[in-house]
Amino acid sequence: MSALKFLIDGQLEDGDLTMRVINPATAREEFDCPRASPAQLDRAVAAAKAAFPAWSRTPIGERKAALLKIADIIEANAAELARLLTQEQGKPLGDATGEVYGAAAFFRYFTSLDLPAKVIQDTEGKRVEAHRRPLGVVGAIIPWNFPLILMAFKVPAALLAGNTLVVKPAATTPMATLRLFELIQDTVPAGVLNVIADANDLGGAITGHPDIRKVSFTGSTATGRKVMAGAAEMLKRITLELGGNDAGIVLEGSDPKTVAPKIFGAAFQNSGQVCIAMKRVYVHESIYDAMCLELAALANAAVIGDGLEQGTQLGPLQNKMQYDRVLELIEDSRKHGTIIAGGETPDRPGYFIRPTIVRDITDGTRLVDEEQFGPVLPVISYADPEDALARANASPYGLGGSIWSTDLDKAYDLASRMESGTVWINQHADLAPNIPFGGAKQSGLGVELGEEGLAEFTQLQIINMAR
């Protein structure tokens, strides 16, 4: 692999510093990567600021054409990007390939949207119009679990709205993003798109930079609080997509053999490193034992390994910090529940943990109350659906949740009272670019995707004219 570079002001350049990237399947530093200095960040922001006036006046049709060209380039280089993604993130190559094509689809979706002026009042003496204007320079901070698809939650909407960007991937997963920006170097005018990488030391500089008008951040709630605090001095616009502790509630009468594979997939996709993964499941006592048996069988049958190996279903945890945290939660769960599958690490290098099912556990324990963000699922018994709903809602998080039942009316009633930004019925973690996505409570502020997500990258301007 040739040396990766930054894209700053239309030019590819080396980092002022360098860093090493770990392959989580081996736990070894295997890749060289550029690392930006504060001066490079400042130059990237200055380039985006200088490019903004012209880009904001570019006809929306031309901006859409650029998004389509980017989507074409992503698809044409899917194999290379997916391999890089697997090597730095750990997910199976098939899943990485799906993420790459998903990113292209998100770029294409936003070309179906427009930002027309809306007439609020048009009378003999007055005309009032509502316009959506671009904000300026947007700082996009991307997490390590889905580097490309979550970049595509932000970049196409920001570009379509007429903004310019400085993008910063996570320190542990910069490679696929840097390579993509190398490939799309000439799709937009110089300065419109800029990308750097850091060693977790420039996030605060982005959040507090006086020339960045909005920060779009996906990551932990703890870091989200820091982003919000850093943006407060300038009242900078922010979108925060933060942590979750998504609950599933399985009602009496559900078939464990039918429901368990869907719950397992919702909990363990990307080895549980998904903001909307099912992180705790409440199962009615009448089917509790059967559900636990089905989930344990699925966990025991799962194939874990290097994402580049044929047949791998689940890869490693992405980084040692997360690996250590999940092991700590598993050890704590031994005191409060019964591990019926997994709970151990395989005898091989890398940050691997076997998918783990814990039963006979309840609220008030760390594994149930905290977001594990890893391959371990607590299964909690309940007798009264109203009690299960109250326990699900007791969390400070509210990103997603799901209700599982053959009685759709009962499921809908419970779903309407679940305190989360998205509630699914008989499914979980279903996302699409046209469906708005955002969290309740401490799971975030603002919305991504859909028309509402596009509007978040704009300033509402009212023109009120007397005749």
Average pLDDT over residues 225-238: 95
Render pLDDT for 371-408 as a digit per residue (tens, 0 to 9). 999 999 999 999 999 999 999 999 999 999 999 999 99
> 129 near 119, Cβ under 8 Å?
yes
Provide the Cα torsion 339, 342, 344, 348; round to 10°.
Answer: 180
- Strands (E) in 176-319, as ranges, are 193-195, 214-218, 237-241, 247-250, 280-284
CA 268 to mean position of chain CA atoms: 15
Place of tokens 């750097």: 196
Which CATH number among 3.40.120.10, 3.40.50.1370, 3.40.309.10, 2.70.70.10 corresponds to the domain 247-432? 3.40.309.10
Average pLDDT score over the chain: 97
Q: Give the residue numbers annotated as catalytic, written as ranges.
A: 241, 275
Residues in the chain: 467
Percent of the chain with pLDDT over 90: 100
The predicted model scores a pTM of 0.96
Residue 466: pLDDT band with limits 50, 70, 90 = very high
* AA letter at 339: I
Mapped onto helix, strand or coil, the DSSP state of residue 448 is strand
Q: How far does the chain reach from its first CA to its final CA, in angstroms?
A: 64
DSSP 304: B
CA 259 – CA 180 distance, rounded (Å): 38
* Cα distances (Å, whole numbers) of residue 290 to 190, 254, 259, 264, 297: 59, 11, 11, 14, 11
CA 242 to mean position of chain CA atoms: 8
pLDDT score, position 191 = 98
- In terms of DSSP H, where are the helices of 119-198? 147-151, 155-160, 175-183
**81-114 b/e with 16+ CB inside 10 Å = b?**
bbbbbbbbbbbbbebbbebbbbbbbbbbbbbebe
pLDDT score, position 2 = 72
Q: Is the pLDDT of residue 415 over 70?
A: yes
CA 332 – CA 264 distance, rounded (Å): 22
Domain at 6-242+443-466: CATH code: 3.40.605.10
Render pLDDT for 315-363 as a digit per residue (tens, 0 to 9). 999 999 999 999 999 999 999 999 999 999 999 999 999 999 999 999 9
> 250 near 281, Cβ under 8 Å?
yes
Q: Is the pLDDT of residue 235 over 80?
A: yes
Structure tokens at 467: 């005749």
> 137 near 163, Cβ under 8 Å?
yes
Domain positions in the chain are 6-242+443-466, 247-432
Percent of the chain with pLDDT over 70: 100
Render pLDDT for 156-190 as a digit per residue (tens, 0 to 9). 999 999 999 999 999 999 999 999 999 999 999 99
Render pLDDT for 130-165 as a digit per residue (tens, 0 to 9). 999 999 999 999 999 999 999 999 999 999 999 999
> 216 near 369, Cβ under 8 Å?
no
Residue 65: pLDDT band with limits 50, 70, 90 = very high
pLDDT score, position 366 = 98
Q: Is the pLDDT of residue 431 over 80?
A: yes
- In terms of DSSP H, where are the helices of 90-220? 93-110, 147-151, 155-160, 175-183, 203-208
pLDDT score, position 1 = 62
Q: Is the pLDDT of residue 248 over 80?
A: yes
